[in-house]
């Protein structure tokens, strides 16, 4: 059983766990009950009802080893701030409960104090309490640009843990902070192997999904957190800019290159080409045009054209399909590849893309036929400027290059 020495701010008392000593003197067995949750979770659960009775809140609980000694720290708060009497009151209230419940087997020092002005924000309610307040974000490891500390006004908090500081400049950094904290917890608290993390945002290509599957097969360890998002073109740029993902996959063409490069540069991103591909038409295998060696835009006129939704950025520059600026009588906009395949099969609809299509993921029902029009898709990836590819990023690009057309 633990033997706590009690310490509170601006004054302290210390004592040993006399109950434990008496049991030891008598040679009695100490019963170790099974506890659910971590030490800090158990202590928080014990302390919160006591704090509530005293008009206090438990801000945080930590249990850390410093040198040869362990410290259980309970941070308390209340409207208007806490004083020495509050620390004394909670210490006297929690001490017999810790003696009785015995949540910690080793000797430790108990400290009860205020979290102070420079308090850490670690829980959702902490962030909610300090909206519109100045904050400093300290990173365990520097970002790709060498930054370790970020300062600004906390203006928004999302349910997924993302937070926004100073008008979105740091939106998405929270994910990196959380991942770094999880790595530390895995290493020093749970002793579990660290999670492998990697994320991609991509236009709607089967080959990017297939390459991601192969990456997970190669590098998915016992624990991992991978992210794959097929989405609109502008959202890809936002995801990479805000570090929601490691890299984004999209294409440039003669039709969109000038505008897209401008948008990419304005977002402090860099585009690197992987390979080029000539445009093809995707059709179902029994389509009236399926037997043709080459299809023209004129041939496609009687059939419904399928385009992926781009939301508020519906324009030829953000379109995932070549020649989308050509007017048609029949058009259907969709937001996922499953729907687009169903419409091809049921309506003899078509879409225009790269022609790269791993059949074993989609069967033999959909084929691609070269398009007669002269255009080239330059398929590549976008990164934040000054960002270096991770090893997983390099491996993913290797998988993608396997799908480069032999004769683009």
- Taking only the tens place, the pLDDT of each residue in 227-258 is 899 999 999 998 898 888 899 999 999 989 99
Tell me how far CA of residue 193 lies from CA of 197, 218, 221, 224, in angstroms. Answer: 12, 17, 9, 10
pLDDT of residue 343: 92
Q: What is the pLDDT of residue 40?
A: 87
Which one has a higher pLDDT value, 37 or 220?
A: 220
Average pLDDT, integer, range 385-394:
88
Can you tell me the distance from the alpha carbon of 288 to that of 308, in angstroms, rounded to the nearest whole number? 23
Q: How far apart are CA 119 and CA 82, in angstroms?
A: 14
Tell me, yes or no, whether 388 and 367 share the same domain: no
Task: Tell whether 406 is covered by a domain.
Answer: no
Question: What is residue 142's predicted lDDT score, i.e. its pLDDT?
Answer: 53
Residue of 357, 301, 297 lying closest to 322 (CA atoms): 297
DSSP of 334-396: ESSHHHHHHHHHHH--BEEE-----HHHHTTSEEEEEBSS---EEEEEEEETTPPPPHHHHHH
Over residues 250-294, the pLDDT tens digits come to 999 998 999 999 999 988 999 999 999 999 999 999 999 999 999
* 118 occurs within a structural domain: no
The answer, yes or no, to whether residue 351 has pLDDT greater than 80, is yes
CATH number, domain at 323? 3.40.190.10
Given 82, 113, 144, the domain boundary residue is 113
Judgement on whether residues 366 and 306 belong to the same structural domain of the protein: yes
| pLDDT, mean of residues 41-47 | 91
Same domain, 318 and 226: no
Residue 134's pLDDT is 74
**How confident is the model at residue 143, as a pLDDT?**
55
What pLDDT score does 218 carry?
A: 86
**Domain-located, residue 351:** yes
Most confident of 135-144, 316-325, 359-368: 316-325
pLDDT score of 68: 80
* Segment 101-106 mean pLDDT: 87
Distance CA(382)–CA(268), nearest Å, equals 10
The runs of H, that is alpha helices, within 220-350 are 233-241, 257-266, 297-300, 337-347
The arithmetic mean of pLDDT across residues 90-110, rounded, is 90
User: What's the total number of domains in the chain?
Assistant: 4
Alpha-carbon torsion, ordered 232, 234, 240, 245, to 10 deg: -20
Please report whether residue 386 resides in a domain.
yes
Question: What is the CATH number for 35?
Answer: 3.30.300.70
DSSP letters spanning 104-173: --S-EEEEEE---TT----SHHHHHHTTTSEEEEE-SS--TTS--EEEEEEEEE-TTS-EEETTTTTTTH
Mean pLDDT of 344-369: 83
Same domain? For 9 and 143 the reply is: no
Q: Is 43 helix (H, G, I), strand (E, B) or coil?
A: helix
Let me know whether 151 and 54 are in one domain. Answer: no
Whether 212 maps to a domain, the answer reads yes
Do 130 and 172 have their domain in common? yes
Please determine, for residue 34, whether its predicted confidence score (pLDDT) is greater than 70.
no
Query: Given this model, what pLDDT does residue 332 score?
Result: 93
Q: Looking at the structure, do residues 390 and 249 belong to the same domain, yes or no?
A: yes
pLDDT interval class at 97 (50, 70, 90): very high
27-36, 72-81, 177-186, 303-312: segment of lowest average pLDDT: 27-36
pLDDT at 275: 95
Tell me: do 159 and 307 sit in the same domain: no
Greater pLDDT, 176 or 349: 349
User: Which residues constitute the domain of residue 82?
Assistant: 4-113
66: in domain:
yes
From the centroid of its chain, how far is CA 8?
A: 38
Classify residue 93: in a domain, yes or no.
yes
State whether 219 and 241 are in the same domain: yes
Last-in-domain residue among 51, 82, 113: 113
Nearest residue to 234 (alpha-carbon basis) of 210, 267, 211: 267
Q: Does 341 share its domain with 396?
A: no
Highest mean pLDDT among 95-109, 111-125, 128-142, 266-280: 266-280
109 shares its domain with 51: yes
Tell me whether residue 18 is in a domain.
Answer: yes
Q: With 60 as the cut, is the pLDDT of residue 96 above it?
A: yes
Highest mean pLDDT among 98-107, 170-179, 375-384: 375-384
Give the pLDDT band (50/70/90) at residue 401.
very high
The residue out of 159, 190, 221 marking a domain boundary is: 190
Mean pLDDT over each residue of the chain, to the nearest integer: 80
């Amino acid at each position: 059983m633990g033997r706590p020495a009690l310490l509170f701010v601006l004054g302290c008392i210390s004592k040993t766990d006399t109950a434990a000593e008496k049991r030891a003197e008598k040679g009695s067995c100490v019963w170790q009950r099974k506890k659910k949750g971590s030490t800090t979770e158990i202590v928080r659960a014990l302390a919160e009802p006591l704090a509530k009775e005293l008009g206090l809140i438990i801000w945080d609980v930590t249990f850390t080893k410093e040198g040869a000694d362990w410290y259980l720290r309970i941070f308390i708060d209340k409207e208007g701030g806490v004083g020495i009497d509050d620390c004394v009151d909670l210490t006297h209230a929690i001490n017999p409960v810790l003696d009785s419940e015995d949540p910690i087997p080793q000797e430790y020092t108990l400290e009860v104090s205020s979290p102070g002005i420079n308090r850490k924000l670690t829980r959702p309610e902490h962030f909610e309490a300090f909206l519109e307040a100045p904050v400093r974000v300290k990173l365990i490891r520097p970002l790709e640009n060498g930054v370790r500390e970020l300062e600004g006004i906390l203006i928004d908090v999302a349910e997924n843990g993302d937070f926004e500081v100073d008008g979105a400049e740091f939106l998405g950094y929270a994910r990196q902070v959380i991942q770094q904290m999880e790595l530390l917890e895995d290493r020093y608290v749970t002793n579990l192997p660290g999670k492998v993390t990697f994320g991609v945002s991509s236009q709607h290509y089967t080959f990017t999904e297939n390459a991601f599957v192969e990456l997970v097969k190669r590098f998915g360890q016992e624990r991992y957190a991978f992210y794959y998002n097929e989405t609109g073109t502008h959202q890809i740029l936002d995801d990479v800019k805000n570090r929601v993902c490691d890299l984004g996959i999209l294409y440039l063409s003669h039709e969109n290159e000038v505008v897209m490069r401008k948008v990419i540069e304005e977002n402090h991103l860099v585009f690197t080409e992987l390979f080029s591909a000539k445009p093809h038409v995707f059709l179902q295998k029994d389509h009236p045009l399926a037997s043709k060696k080459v299809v023209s835009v004129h041939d496609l006129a009687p059939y419904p054209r399928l385009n992926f939704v781009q939301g508020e950025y519906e324009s030829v520059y953000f379109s995932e399909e070549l020649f989308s600026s050509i007017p048609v009588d029949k058009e259907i906009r969709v937001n996922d590849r499953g729907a687009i395949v169903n419409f091809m099969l049921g309506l003899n609809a078509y879409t225009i893309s790269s022609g790269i299509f791993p059949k074993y993921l989609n069967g033999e029902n959909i084929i691609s036929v070269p398009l007669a029009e002269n255009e080239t898709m330059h398929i590549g990836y976008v990164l934040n400027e000054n960002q270096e590819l991770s090893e997983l990023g390099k491996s993913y690009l290797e998988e993608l290059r396997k799908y480069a057309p032999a004769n683009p």
